[in-house]
């Protein structure tokens, strides 16, 4: 029986990879850990390509690649990988015949799922370090090197802020096709995985799984009231990297908000300098102090952040606007677009956790560019596709906005998805 911690935030899976690499680098011995990554999905699937799970020799697992259908079997595959020391792509076909297709039409427990299973090695370190430093990164793994210079299992990295395909050692990956850079950048930015087939440098083709790992979205919470804890906790569960900001020598913030990635004590006038908000910043302002909130909101709007949720009634912000106007500061409509006040989705409920739930739901929706209605009312599929080309061209690094790739809430249905894979 696998003891496991399946349903952890994605951030924790990556963190656990890092911890295990660190332990091994510090001299821990014993059988290697094994990493399983979904590299392909056809049919219904609970998780998308890129979903990861770490398996220890003692049977412990962190993360989930389905809703529990394959994980037990993976334990024996992992044992084999530990023996051979070589990566494998294991294909689970849970959609054997028509009968089963009807009767077993589950979610996450049918379809065809390709899983890359490999010994966890230092080749993964650049990815976890980039992630830890808040940078987008793509991990590239050769699934089929053909007759070219690349062997199955070979690995490279791409960080959009670096712009160069690199080996795990940090050198330019000169054996790898340059055409992978753009799609790797797009997938890193969106945190999506895809398998691509591209021309290699020897006139053949190479099949590569590109695992985009987006840096966690930053959420800055201004305030240290008792209502901040639930927001911090729920945001961390949802893979936000949370900063709690206190003013006037607020103390014990690390103890009081253990789920925060960091805490900062500064002054309302110093927000810009202390936190350097930018267009990727998401912030919730809940200091319960009018003057503080006003200064913070001004700094954030000036910085052009992606989202400011301001706790308080609409009239309170109108009062702020009057004061801004009295100082000669006015905001046009587009400047106010990122501002959400009252903060949160309209879910009803007034307990601290219910309020926090509605706030975090709003931040998720804005960060993911969704209109937060019922999925049952949504037209078309649930996940938009990141267009990285059909495997033969280089991709344009942009989402095409069409939606032919579904994933969340068990709604994955790849039937209409153009098959970018050679297999």
Whose tokens are 């011995």? That residue is 29
How far apart are CB 397 and a copy of itself at their closest, in Å? 20
Question: Measured between alpha carbons, how far is 47 from 65 in angstroms, rounded to an integer?
Answer: 6
Question: Measured between alpha carbons, how far is 162 from 172 in angstroms, rounded to an integer?
Answer: 11
Choices 62-70, 129-137, 156-164, 166-174 (CB under 8 A): range interacting with a copy of itself: 62-70
Rule CB under 8 A: say whether 312 interacts with a copy of itself. Answer: yes
Candidates 408, 418, 419, 423: give the one binding a copy of itself (CB under 8 A).
Answer: 408
- Whether residue 164 contacts residue 376, with contact meaning beta carbons closer than 8 Å, is answered with no
Candidates 57, 316, 403, 422: give the one binding a copy of itself (CB under 8 A).
Answer: 316
Rule CB under 8 A: say whether 383 interacts with a copy of itself. Answer: yes
How far apart are CB 158 and a copy of itself at their closest, in Å? 22
Nearest to 122 by CA among 266, 4, 234, 26: 26
- Which residues in 9-28 contact a copy of itself (CB under 8 A)? 9-10
Which helix (DSSP H) or strand (DSSP E) does residue 220 occupy?
A: strand 218-222
Choices 33-41, 75-83, 204-212, 333-341 (CB under 8 A): range interacting with a copy of itself: 333-341
Question: Measured between alpha carbons, how far is 266 from 176 in angstroms, rounded to an integer?
Answer: 46
Torsion sign over Cα 7, 10, 16, 21: positive
Question: Strands across the sheet with 241-247, in order?
Answer: 262-266, 241-247, 218-222, 282-285, 307-310, 339-340
253 vs 286, beta carbon nearer a copy of itself: 286
1 vs 276, beta carbon nearer a copy of itself: 1
Question: Measured between alpha carbons, how far is 238 from 368 in angstroms, rounded to an integer?
Answer: 12
180 vs 260, beta carbon nearer a copy of itself: 260
Candidates 163, 249, 328, 349: give the one binding a copy of itself (CB under 8 A).
Answer: 349
Q: For the chain, how far is it from start to end, CA to CA, in angstroms?
A: 32
- Whether residue 156 contacts residue 175, with contact meaning beta carbons closer than 8 Å, is answered with no
If phi > 0 it is left, if psi is from -120 to 50 it is alpha, else beta; for residue 30 that is left
Which 3 state secondary structure label does DSSP give 341?
coil
Q: What residue spans of 85-154 are helical by DSSP H? A: 98-103, 125-132
Rule CB under 8 A: say whether 244 interacts with a copy of itself. Answer: no
Rule CB under 8 A: say whether 48 interacts with a copy of itself. Answer: yes
Choices 85-93, 265-273, 295-303, 305-313 (CB under 8 A): range interacting with a copy of itself: 305-313
Rule CB under 8 A: say whether 237 interacts with a copy of itself. Answer: yes
Question: Measured between alpha carbons, how far is 259 from 270 in angstroms, rounded to an integer?
Answer: 24
Phi, psi (degrees; rounded to nearest 5) at 155: -135, 145
How far apart are CB 393 and a copy of itself at their closest, in Å? 26
55 vs 311, beta carbon nearer a copy of itself: 311
The two three-digit tokens of residue 388, written as one number = 């990285």
Contacts of 410 (CB under 8 A, 6+ apart): 44, 46, 67, 107, 108
Candidates 27, 163, 328, 350: give the one binding a copy of itself (CB under 8 A).
Answer: 350
270 vs 368, beta carbon nearer a copy of itself: 368
Rule CB under 8 A: say whether 324 interacts with a copy of itself. Answer: no
How far apart are CB 366 and a copy of itself at their closest, in Å? 9
Rule CB under 8 A: say whether 80 interacts with a copy of itself. Answer: no
Rule CB under 8 A: say whether 56 interacts with a copy of itself. Answer: no
How far apart are CB 380 and a copy of itself at their closest, in Å? 10
Which 3 state secondary structure label does DSSP give 165?
strand
How far apart are CB 212 and a copy of itself at their closest, in Å? 13
Fill in the per-residue mask, 109 to 148: x = in contact with a copy of itself (CB under 8 A), - = not in contact: x---------------------------------------
Fill in the per-residue mask, 256 to 295: x = in contact with a copy of itself (CB under 8 A), - = not in contact: ------------------------------xxxxxx----
């Amino acid at each position: 029986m696998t003891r496991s911690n399946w349903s952890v935030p994605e951030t924790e899976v990556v963190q656990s990879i890092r911890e295990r690499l660190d332990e091994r680098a510090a001299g821990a011995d014993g059988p290697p850990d094994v990493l399983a990554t979904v590299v392909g999905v056809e049919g219904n699937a609970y998780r998308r390509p890129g979903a990861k799970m770490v398996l220890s020799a003692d049977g412990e697992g962190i993360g989930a690649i389905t809703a529990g259908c394959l994980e037990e079997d993976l334990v024996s595959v992992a044992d084999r990988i530990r023996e051979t020391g070589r990566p494998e792509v294991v294909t689970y076909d849970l959609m054997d015949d028509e009968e089963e297709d009807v009767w077993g039409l589950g979610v996450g427990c049918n379809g065809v799922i390709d899983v890359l299973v490999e010994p966890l090695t230092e080749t993964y370190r650049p990815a976890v370090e980039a992630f830890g430093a808040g940078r987008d990164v793509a991990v590239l793994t050769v699934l089929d090197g053909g007759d070219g210079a690349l062997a199955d299992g070979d690995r490279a990295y791409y960080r959009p802020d670096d712009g160069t395909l690199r080996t795990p050692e940090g050198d330019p990956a000169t054996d790898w096709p340059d055409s992978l850079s753009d799609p790797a950048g797009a997938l890193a930015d969106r945190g999506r995985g895809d398998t691509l087939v591209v021309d290699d440098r020897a006139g053949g083709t190479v099949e590569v799984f590109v695992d985009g790992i987006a840096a966690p979205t930053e959420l800055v919470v201004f305030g240290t009231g008792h209502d901040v804890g639930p927001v911090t906790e729920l945001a961390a569960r949802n893979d936000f990297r949370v900063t709690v900001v206190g003013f006037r020598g607020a103390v014990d913030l690390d103890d009081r908000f253990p789920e925060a990635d960091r805490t900062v004590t500064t002054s309302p006038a110093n927000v810009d300098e202390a936190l350097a908000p930018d267009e990727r910043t998401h912030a919730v302002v809940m200091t319960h102090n009018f003057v503080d909130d006003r200064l913070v909101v001004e700094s954030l709007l000036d910085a052009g952040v992606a989202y400011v949720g301001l706790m308080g009634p609409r009239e309170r912000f109108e009062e702020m606007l009057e004061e801004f106007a009295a100082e000669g500061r006015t905001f046009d409509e587009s400047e106010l677009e990122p501002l959400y006040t009252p903060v949160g989705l309209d879910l009803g409920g007034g307990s601290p956790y219910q309020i926090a739930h509605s706030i975090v739901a709003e931040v998720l929706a804005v960060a993911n560019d969704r209109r937060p209605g019922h999925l049952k009312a949504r037209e078309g599929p649930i996940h938009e596709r990141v267009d990285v080309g059909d495997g033969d061209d280089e991709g344009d690094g942009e989402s095409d906005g069409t939606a032919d790739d579904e994933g969340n809430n068990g709604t994955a249905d790849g039937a209409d998805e153009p098959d970018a894979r050679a297999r």
